[in-house]
Amino acid sequence: MTDDELRTAFRRLSPWVNAAGVLIALFLIAPLLAILPIAFSADRYLTFPPSGLSMRWLTEVFSSPDWQAAFTQSLSTAGTATVIAVVAGTGAALALPRMRRGARLLRTAMLAPMVVPPLVLALGLYLAIDDLGGSAGIRTLILGQATLAAPLVCLSVSAGLAKVDPALSRAARSLGHGWPSVLLRVELPLVARSIAGSAVLSFGLCFDESVLSYYLSPPGEETLPTLLWLEAGQQASPAIAAVSTLVMGMAVALLGLMVLLTGTRSTTIPRRTRNARRMS
């Protein structure tokens, strides 16, 4: 089959593919949209559709010390884990192209957490800390969240580095700049958007991580996902929907921020400049 025939076949299938995409999107979004009216329900229990609308549950969430403490704890752990993940992931992404030996091992080690179930990671961290004579706590949770987020940072920064023209680094070295100067003045500024976007994505992942939080959060220091899980098991009040709505709004805001930060920008030498350099 020729390229023209393939294009013609894809054009014929395009309406069906678009329709299937819309149906899949509705299937995924519909349950989330159903939570919104429940968050403003006047009922005492989770009912859909609600019999009336009220701001009661949102007010209760904002005035509850437990929800406030859980939200603050989630911000603290997710922020700290994001910093660790960005440093580790960016460092690995910058080191991989320069490594002659051990690059495959480092790449495998960085990407392994993406295929390991969070429950297995939580159990491994718990047993490792226990063997060392410690006890699982917030630091263990931060380590686990950073372990999950670091591969995303590594992949994002590696993709950003792949778009950078190697001639820029060679030109800086030819001008007498050492590797640290090239890294700080050339490479890092060119992948700053990739780093910022991966940091936003990592923060969202760490903030919403529920499995590690449930198994590693110490009593009295629960994160928001852990408290949501506990409240859902004890009482099915619309406060759960109110918190979920706030988390969804935060996720949408983070997604928009990530799109703004990761806007495309050319990091290659213009063609005219390259041609002029070759002619000279």
Report whether pLDDT(270) > 50: no
- Annotate 209-240 with DSSP letters as a single string: --HHHHHHPPTT---HHHHHHHHHHH---THH
Residue 280 confidence (pLDDT): 41
Percent of the chain with pLDDT over 90: 3
For domain 64-279, the CATH superfamily is: MetI-like (1.10.3720.10)
Name residue 1's amino acid: M
Domain residues of the chain, as ranges?
A: 64-279
CA 144 to chain centre: 14
Mind listing the pLDDT tens digit for each residue in 171-211? 666 666 666 666 667 677 777 888 888 888 888 888 888 88
Spatial distance between the Cα atoms of 19 and 16, rounded to a whole number of angstroms: 5
Mean pLDDT of the 213-232 span: 81
Residue 276 confidence (pLDDT): 38
- Tell me, what DSSP letter sits at residue 41? B
Kindly state the tokens that stand for 3: 């390229």
At 208 the three-state DSSP class reads: helix
Residue 80 confidence (pLDDT): 92
Spatial distance between the Cα atoms of 207 and 82, rounded to a whole number of angstroms: 9
Higher-confidence residue of 149 and 163: namely 149
Residue 6 confidence (pLDDT): 58
Mean pLDDT, rounded, of the chain: 76
* Residue of 133, 134, 125, 131 whose CA lies nearest to 216: 125
Prior bond to 49 cis, omega within 30? yes
Q: Token match 């590594």: residue?
A: 154
Residue 274 confidence (pLDDT): 46
Q: Which residues on neighbouring strands pair with residue 41, listed in sequence order? A: 53
Q: Which residues on neighbouring strands pair with residue 53, listed in sequence order? A: 41
At 101, the pLDDT band (50, 70, 90 cuts) reads confident
- Annotate 142-199 with DSSP letters as a single string: HHHHHHHHHHHHHHHHHHHHHTS-HHHHHHHHHTT--HHHHIIIIIHHHTHHHHHHHH
Mean pLDDT of the 157-169 span: 74
Kindly state the tokens that stand for 51: 């019999």
CB atoms within 10 A of CB 219: 5
Mind listing the pLDDT tens digit for each residue in 123-161? 888 788 777 766 667 888 888 889 888 888 888 888 887
pTM of the model: 0.75
Higher-confidence residue of 10 and 65: namely 65
- Annotate 96-137 with DSSP letters as a single string: GGG-SSSHHHHHHHHHGGGTS-HHHHHHHHHHHHHHTT----
Report whether pLDDT(78) > 80: yes
Mind listing the pLDDT tens digit for each residue in 108-122? 877 888 888 888 888
Report whether pLDDT(223) > 80: yes
Report whether pLDDT(218) > 70: yes
Kindly state the tokens that stand for 152: 């995303």
Spatial distance between the Cα atoms of 103 and 30, rounded to a whole number of angstroms: 44
